[in-house]
A and B are shown apart, each in its own frame.
Chain A
């Protein structure tokens, strides 16, 4: 179960960490999303709050992160994309988040509006993720992007995301740029190929805690779809074969996830659980993987 202390403290420990992810509601009834949070808050060392994921309108990640705090969870990770706000909006929300007690920020570019439910929206991308990280570093040092002094500065624990294909050298180059700005943790796209992930770790050669993404597979079709369509995801044939041969793909998907976590435990600092939908099986998977022992 989760250690005492903040997520930042835990990142500085040697413990294998577990993070999860919840989506704010599409509307203002936040109870089901809080229930989802509660299903993992007992063991999650941090819980991400998605920022209009898939470029699809939801309640703001900042508002829901604050609601998580008010409902008993102190370590939300507010995801922040560069898609919807210019440099004034991004910095303003960062100052607001700090004032609301949100301790962790995860920076990403964000899916393009064309991929979501408002395809005619203006894509902003005034900053890219590297530039936003540089600006967060400035804010932490007490200055805004224009160099003006802040009355008090935020002290975020800052994370970045990455794909794990060791052959994508420009994506690795971008990750190196990101982690040059006082980054506290890296969360990765879902890992299915351990050898590929090991090669990625070797290429990165970083002391920054790396938390590997886990998506439990629920069907053979889902595995094929992710393998073919989701950037950064590669699923080895052996996993396809296991899920195709199973009469109970959900259970087999849980076993596969647990097997992956067992193999990841000795080589990285934690796992980031990203089920499609609710965290119904997250605790069972982690138990199967002996994470709590």
Chain B
């Protein structure tokens, strides 16, 4: 799940200035789950913009903003999008980019895209993966130090780890402490002695 946070309304307003036909597009997968792009959030933004003097032409809630078949498909859901001079996408950066790639209409996003995370129950976990394209999460039994250590330490904890807490935030657990606990429980600590080489950042 892509973790997003809604931008403050004041930072969205300048994009609405001077527009005559504003259209809103949500995302019924990650952003809906994050409460940054589902139907209730779309309706709230419609209300806020109208109150600020910017009437909304229409809105649509596709299944996933990052996976849209075509612009015609969006038209089939709400043909008002054809008349828009501004599309506000309530999704992640990827969803906003896909919408932009389908049209010449001005497009912007209403969310900050924070990380690739997930949730179990009501607990949200941020930054579980950083899309390195060279996954070796199995070396750490499913806990990625590249993503979850602020210093991306691949060969063991830095010297700033104290009492199992991270140097950057003493409220957060050091990911190497979590890895140690997990690997210990499956008797796999010796596996951590393997030297991990630098990541390949070639695109």
Contacts and interface: CB of A to CB of B under 8 A. Distances in A.
Contacts of B192: 170, 173
Contacts of B176: 170
Nearest to B194: A177
A200 to B, nearest CB: 13
Interface of B: 150-162, 167-168, 176, 179-180, 189, 192-193, 195-199, 201
- 8 closest Cβ pairs, A-B complex: A174-B156, A130-B155, A231-B162, A109-B158, A125-B152, A125-B151, A112-B168, A131-B198
Contacts of A128: 151-155
A111 B157 CA distance: 12
A162 B159 contact: yes
Given A112-B167, A115-B167, 7 more contacts: A112-B151, A127-B198, A130-B154, A131-B155, A161-B159, A170-B157, A177-B156
21 contacts: A109-B160, A112-B160, A112-B168, A114-B150, A115-B160, A115-B167, A123-B151, A125-B153, A130-B154, A130-B155, A130-B156, A134-B195, A161-B159, A170-B176, A170-B179, A170-B180, A171-B157, A173-B156, A176-B193, A177-B155, A189-B159
Contacts of A22: none
Nearest to B183: A170
A189 to B, nearest CB: 7
B167 to A, nearest CB: 6
Interface string A106-131: 00111110110000000101111111
B159 A130 contact: no
Given A115-B168, A170-B176, A174-B156, A126 B198 contact: yes
Contacts of A82: 151
Contacts of B154: 128, 130-131
A4 interface: no
A232 interface: yes
Q: Among A170, A189, A229, which residue has the most Cβ atoms of chain B within 10 A?
A: A170
Interface residues of A, number: 37
A173 B168 contact: no
Contacts of B197: 131, 134
Contacts of B157: 168, 170-171, 174
Contacts of A232: 159, 162
A183 to B, nearest CB: 14
Contacts of B180: 169-170
A110 B189 CA distance: 25
Nearest to B163: A231
A49 B157 CA distance: 24
Contacts of A173: 156, 192-193
A116 to B, nearest CB: 11
Interface in A206-235: 229-232
A218 B161 CA distance: 25
A179 B133 CA distance: 29
Nearest to A181: B195
Contacts of A169: 180, 189
A163 interface: yes
A140 interface: no
A129 B167 CA distance: 16
Nearest to A128: B153
Contacts of A125: 151-153
Interface in A18-70: none
B89 to A, nearest CB: 26
A231 B159 contact: yes
A228 B180 CA distance: 23
A171 B159 contact: yes
Contacts of B167: 111-112, 115, 231
